[in-house]
């Protein structure tokens, strides 16, 4: 497959993250010609068009363009809570572990982390974390769900689980926020449109700059009144971006033809997992690969994850060490179909070399 990207860095196979995607030629062209205005005053026509399209795609009344997924989650939580309240969130989710504790530092929120099975929380466990109406306790306000779940290997939260959590939230008067940074991957894996997932939540964040391939930006979507408040909070955290239509122009293109592109990425992840499974010294369960992520354990090689990643980098394949012996690989638009077996053959040679040197 021909690369559409204008510049792919020095011919490397880039498997660290789908955040590494390069804006393609169509995006760059649209960016240079974008009509812009002052978005803080609501006058950027390209941002307005993106927000309308994003609201339509997610089946919500309104949407807001924000600088990043982290900002989208923060704005969503701050717009739906008051300081001193509590969120219930899956224990390894991005909001709790990779967003500098913004919910606590900027939102004054406490968190009740819930263990899960591959990112899927048991509704009974979530229910057990809802606080009683007791003057000693914080009030529970929001349940946070991550879909797909990054740390759980790009795992998808099934619709049935979302339905149960929605029913629970309705019964107990709670809101639900979905960190849907990769909700399009979840939708592709489930074979449904994004709105069929988002219908179970009050607010959703999704990233334009991951598998969708835009250089910058994320979307927050929800009811019109929620977005009105989110717009105010975005300003509070310094996210009013003025003539940012040049960025939204790429986002509009990123929303076209998503399904086909992500299905290809998912097929490539499955192929990569099947190849890696055959390599002695590398361990993974191909059944764990549900979307575009492949997590591999290198402990049987007697090398650290960062050592293995360094060796691969010197062979022009970039991987992400995410634990002492755990490596992450992510397929995306800039990973050609032909690069999948190529990367796997590089891993196989390297694993053989490492094993031969320790024999």
Ligand X SMILES: Cc1ncc(COP(=O)(O)O)c(C=O)c1O
**Which residues are at the interface with ligand X (CB under 6 A)?**
19, 68-70, 94, 146, 150, 179, 181, 207, 209, 218
Comparing CB distances to ligand X, the nearer of 179 and 311 is: 179
When CB distances to ligand X are compared, the closest residue is 69
What DSSP string describes 63-124? EEEES-HHHHHHHHHHHH--TT-EEEEETT-HHHHSSTTHHHHTT--EEEEE--BTTB--HH
Say how far apart CA 140 and CA 110 lie, in whole Å.
9
Please list, in sequence order, all residues whose beta carbon lies within 8 angstroms of the beta carbon of residue 305, skipping any fewer than 6 positions away.
298, 321, 322, 323, 324, 325, 326, 327
What DSSP string describes 190-236? HTS-HHHHHTT-SEEEEESSSTT--SS-EEEEE-HHHHHHHHHHHHH
Angle at which helices 258-277 and 339-357 pack, to 10 degrees? 30
Cβ 150 to ligand X shortest distance, Å: 4
Comparing CB distances to ligand X, the nearer of 19 and 243 is: 19
Cβ 289 to ligand X shortest distance, Å: 16
Say how far apart CA 32 and CA 99 lie, in whole Å.
31
Cβ 74 to ligand X shortest distance, Å: 9
Comparing CB distances to ligand X, the nearer of 220 and 351 is: 220
Comparing CB distances to ligand X, the nearer of 51 and 146 is: 146
Comparing CB distances to ligand X, the nearer of 131 and 326 is: 326
Cβ 70 to ligand X shortest distance, Å: 3
Comparing CB distances to ligand X, the nearer of 207 and 329 is: 207
Cβ 264 to ligand X shortest distance, Å: 20
Contact 246, 30 (CB under 8 A): no
Comparing CB distances to ligand X, the nearer of 188 and 301 is: 188
Token readout for 106 is 């900027």
Cis peptide before 148 (omega within 30 of 0): yes
Cβ 147 to ligand X shortest distance, Å: 9
Cβ 99 to ligand X shortest distance, Å: 7
């Amino acid at each position: 497959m021909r690369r559409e990207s204008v510049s792919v860095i020095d011919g490397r196979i880039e498997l660290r993250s789908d955040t590494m995607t390069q804006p393609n030629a169509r995006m760059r062209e649209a960016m240079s010609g974008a009509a812009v205005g002052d978005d803080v005053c609501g006058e950027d026509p390209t941002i307005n068009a993106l927000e309308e399209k994003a609201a339509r795609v997610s089946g919500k009344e309104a949407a807001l363009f924000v600088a990043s997924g982290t900002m989208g989650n923060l704005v969503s939580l701050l717009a739906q809570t008051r300081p001193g309240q509590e969120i219930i969130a899956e224990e390894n989710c991005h909001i709790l572990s990779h967003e500098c504790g913004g919910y606590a530092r900027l939102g004054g929120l406490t968190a009740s982390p819930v263990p899960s099975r591959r990112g899927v929380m048991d509704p009974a466990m979530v229910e057990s974390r809802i606080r009683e109406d007791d003057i000693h306790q914080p009030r529970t306000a929001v349940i946070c769900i991550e879909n797909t779940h990054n740390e759980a290997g790009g795992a998808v939260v099934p619709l049935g689980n979302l339905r149960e959590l929605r029913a629970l939230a309705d019964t107990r008067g709670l809101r639900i926020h979905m960190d849907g940074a990769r909700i399009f991957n979840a939708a592709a894996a489930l074979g449904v449109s994004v709105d069929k997932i988002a219908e179970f939540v009050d607010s959703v964040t999704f990233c334009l700059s991951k598998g969708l391939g835009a250089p910058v930006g994320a979307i927050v979507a929800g009811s019109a009144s929620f977005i009105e408040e989110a717009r105010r909070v975005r300003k509070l955290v310094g996210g009013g971006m003025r003539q940012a239509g040049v960025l939204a122009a790429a986002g509009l293109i990123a929303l076209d033809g998503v399904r086909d592109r992500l299905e290809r990425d998912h097929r490539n992840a499955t192929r990569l997992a099947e190849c890696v499974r055959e390599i002695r010294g590398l361990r993974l369960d191909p059944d764990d690969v549900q979307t575009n992520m492949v997590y591999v354990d290198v402990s049987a090689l007697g090398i650290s994850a960062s050592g293995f990643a360094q060796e691969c980098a010197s062979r022009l394949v970039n991987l992400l060490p995410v634990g002492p012996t755990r490596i992450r690989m992510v397929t995306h638009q800039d990973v050609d179909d032909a690069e999948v077996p190529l990367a796997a053959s590089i891993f196989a040679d390297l694993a053989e070399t490492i094993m031969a040197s320790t024999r």
